[in-house]
Amino acid sequence: MRPNDPAQYDQLADQWWQPTGGFAMLHWLAASRADLVPPAARPGALLVDLACGGGLMAPHVARLGYRHVGVDIGLAGLRTAREHGVTVVRGSVLAVPLADGCADVVTAGEILEHVEDPGQVLAESARLLRPGGVLVVDSIAGTRLAGLVAVTVAERLPGGPPKGIHDPALFVDRRELLAAADRAGLDLRLWGLRPSVRDLVAWRRGRRDVVRMRAMAYSGILFAGVGSKRGTTGRRTADAARTVGP
């Protein structure tokens, strides 16, 4: 099977909600992503979940008080997401079939490393967001070390990504991502992520369902970020958007 083939997600659709299945780490990342989303500030606040897959963000979004709209191209994942209370929309994250300014929050987790132009995903996110709205992202950095860890090693470990699900050629250049965010009117900050070693050991022994993700300075393997949409199209301030670590 060719790398980065979306059909793999359909073939593994029965594993979306298995905490020890092929999508185990996506559960960990969904929980980590949710920790970066502020509670809904108003009734009817909307969170748009780009590349929602099987809807793993659903329990977190409900707890935070948002209406949850998930966007994906995979029918099998969307069916599963709907079963978990997500309002689903089939469409590309590069051209989202939703109105300008509809969202209070947009999440773009584990998708930037699957598209040719991550900046276009950020541009769509900015279009969807209200002024002051929040963007939450996570992805894999475009470094040789990330290719070694996320593909060569992780695809051979229990709980790691399915073999061939990633193409290292699409891993994300963080500087280009920050520049694209600025052009889109987003102030974005990035930092590194890693699994908790203690939690990982407990998970392997069946004592935990979810491994907590820890922030770290080095963002050259797995990274996360939070941004906000500026009220105008003016340039950012000097330190409003930056990447933490090398």
Task: Give the model confidence (pLDDT) of 1-27 as tens digits.
Answer: 456 566 677 777 788 998 887 788 899
- Whole-number Å distance between alpha carbons of 50 and 78: 12
Report pLDDT for 233: 44
- Whole-number Å distance between alpha carbons of 169 and 140: 11
- Whole-number Å distance between alpha carbons of 185 and 236: 8
Percentages helix, strand, coil for the chain, rounded to the nearest 5?
Answer: 35, 25, 40
Q: Would strands 186-195 and 67-72 be described as parallel, antiparallel, or unpaired? A: unpaired
Cβ atoms 216, 194 nearer than 8 A: yes
**By mean pLDDT, which of 41-50, 79-88, 163-172, 202-211 is the weakest?**
163-172
- Its pTM stands at 0.90
Report pLDDT for 38: 97
Q: How confident is the model at residue 97 (pLDDT cuts 50, 70, 90)?
A: very high
Report pLDDT for 21: 78
Q: How confident is the model at residue 165 (pLDDT cuts 50, 70, 90)?
A: confident
Task: State mean pLDDT over 74-80.
Answer: 94
Q: How confident is the model at residue 35 (pLDDT cuts 50, 70, 90)?
A: very high
- In the chain, the percentage of residues whose pLDDT exceeds 90 is 73
Structure tokens at 40: 């809904």
Task: State mean pLDDT over 183-211.
Answer: 94
Residue 107: CA count within 13 A, CB half-sphere: 31
